Structure 1
Amino acid sequence: MKFVKWTFAAMWLFMGAACQDSEVDPNGPVTLTNSDFRNNTDGWIAEVTDYSTAQEEIIEFQSGHKALPEPLDVSKKSFMISGHNRSDDLFMFLKKKVTGLKPNQTYSIDFEVELASKYGDNSVGIGGSPGGSVYLKAGVLATEPKKVKEGDDYRLNIDKGNQATGSDAVPVLGNIGAGNDATQYKLIQRSTTQPITAKTNSAGELWLLVGTDSGFEGLTTLYYNKIKVVAEVKPGN
């Protein structure tokens, strides 16, 4: 009798699981990444571009898996990125490859980014505001975004726009201003106002990008705390 009861119980569990699976939309939202950098950089890679070859030794570019700065919780790790804009233009970015998507499929993709900034919206600096003139961008591409040399300058191999202007693939999420009177680090949140459209390559891969396009000629040091990216198959594709 006990065997029969266990058999029926197993059958009901199996049927329940099957019903749940049948209700899952294969084209529904899928999380491409949900990085909190608690233990590591989670596959993100830091790079910098938009500077001349003569400035290579003076842009002071640094990045790494670092503790959040005070007065935030210094026991919590983040992805720090820092650089000195020497010529009214510097693009510091993180990139990550994601796999396992449908090949040659068009997706609608949304970003949620949380980072630590200490730069005031109305702060004053050379070339522009340290907070109001440094623009956070996010993008999705089928090819790897990377630094390329063009003459005496280093540029990004894809169109990201310039400073306050983004592109279709790499829109502006906002600036890095942490409030009008900010002088200490605080966590700020930025997100896409409308989905980014991107098509996977033949291997079902995409590259994610998050970075800052600077119009402030000075040192900017930021700490990425969370990056979440969600994709959904675009209707009609």
Structure 2
Amino acid sequence: MKKPLLFILILLSNSVSFSAATTSALDIKTYKYAFSQKDNFKVSYADYPAGEDEFYELNYKNGAKLPHEIKTQHPHGLKISGNNHSDDLFMYAYKKITGLKPNTPYHVSFSLEFAANAPTGSSGVGGSPGDSVFVKIGAVNQEPQRFVDEDHYYKIALDKGNQLQDGKDMIFIGTVGVDTQDSIYRLKTLPYLPDEVMQKKLTQFRVTTDNQGQAWVIFGTDSGYEATSTFFYTNLSLTFKEVSECNIPASHRCPLQSIK
């Protein structure tokens, strides 16, 4: 009886070792950006009529000098501005992320810092300049593109949701409102102290890379405030953590991980 028992123990030992090796091989990468000119984020706009860039006062600048009241280690950031005549202007930036495993699912965690001068609890044209401008962030495996729809409006070719509603490709992480007076810029980091609902969607956000191990991070503001908003993005931190096949919904693989 000793030999069969020894054989079983050896099998169990090998199974545990294999499971541990599989888990330890999962890819984790962190990317950090301070929005200097060399980071060169691409910027675009959507949800406004084609040909109306000048009327909407659309402008941006990589490596723009921050407002004098913002004191940071890096005095420059990504400036994005626009006048929301359409009650739904989406101002966004994106960048290609490389060095990931090809065709691989990753959980993505985000931390986005920016400077805004719109007070929380304020009122304005069509909505609050602080509480009706919604920050979205996400990741996709194709470069974000926009197109002109049948109403001659620019639209973005991904699912960002509308204003505070989440989409498949982007999620709502907060508003631009800050504790300020007299239009003084203040820094804000999102997500900030996420509640249970926010925490759940943050832990569930995933993207699958393309066949070259690439993904595109995208973030921006979806506005219900019908006037001018100007923001300076100052820091972005991303962590891509490879998702084990065992943690993918509807997957029944990796049974060895249940062995203790």
Q: State how far apart, in whole Å, the 2-side matches of 1:172 and 1:183 are.
A: 24
Find the counterpart in structure 2 of residue 209 from structure 1. Answer: 218
Give the TM-score normalised by the residue count of structure 2.
Answer: 0.77
- Work out whether 1:40 is the aligned partner of 2:49: no
- Work out whether 1:62 is the aligned partner of 2:59: yes
Q: Per-residue CA shift, 1:172-211, capped at 9, x if unaligned?
A: 0100000275731010000273132110111111010010
Q: Per-residue CA shift, 1:35-93, capped at 9, x if unaligned?
A: 012x4251311111110125332111111121111211387011110011001010001
Find the counterpart in structure 1 of residue 129 from structure 2. Answer: 130
Is contact 1:29–1:232 with CA below 8 Å preserved after alignment?
yes
Find the counterpart in structure 2 of residue 79 from structure 1. Answer: 78
Find the counterpart in structure 2 of residue 90 from structure 1. Answer: 89
Is contact 2:180–2:186 with CA below 8 Å preserved after alignment?
no
Q: State how far apart, in whole Å, the 2-side matches of 1:47 and 1:41 are.
A: 18
Task: Compute the RMSD of aligned alpha carbons.
Answer: 2.0
Runs of 4+ in 1 over 4 A off after TM superposition: none
Identity of aligned residues (%): 31
Segments of 5+ residues of structure 2 without an aligned counterpart are 1-20, 192-197, 249-260
Segments of 5+ residues of structure 1 without an aligned counterpart are 1-21
Among residues 212, 224, 239, which one is paired with 1:230 in the alignment? 239
Q: State how far apart, in whole Å, the 2-side matches of 1:220 and 1:233 are.
A: 36
Q: State how far apart, in whole Å, the 1-side matches of 2:53 and 2:77 are.
A: 25
Is contact 1:121–1:181 with CA below 8 Å preserved after alignment?
no
Aligned with 2:39: secondary structure?
A: coil
Q: State how far apart, in whole Å, the 2-side matches of 1:41 and 1:61 are.
A: 22
Is contact 2:104–2:209 with CA below 8 Å preserved after alignment?
yes
Q: State how far apart, in whole Å, the 2-side matches of 1:138 and 1:70 are.
A: 27
- Alignment CA distance shift 1:182-1:131 (3 Å): farther
Q: State how far apart, in whole Å, the 2-side matches of 1:175 and 1:44 are.
A: 21
Give the TM-score normalised by the residue count of structure 1.
Answer: 0.84
Q: State how far apart, in whole Å, the 1-side matches of 2:159 and 2:182 are.
A: 32
Matched residue count? 213
**Farther-moved stretch of structure 1 (88-97 vs 66-75):** 66-75
Q: State how far apart, in whole Å, the 2-side matches of 1:49 and 1:97 are.
A: 19
Find the counterpart in structure 2 of residue 5 from structure 1. Answer: none
Is contact 1:63–1:80 with CA below 8 Å preserved after alignment?
yes
Q: State how far apart, in whole Å, the 2-side matches of 1:215 and 1:41 are.
A: 32
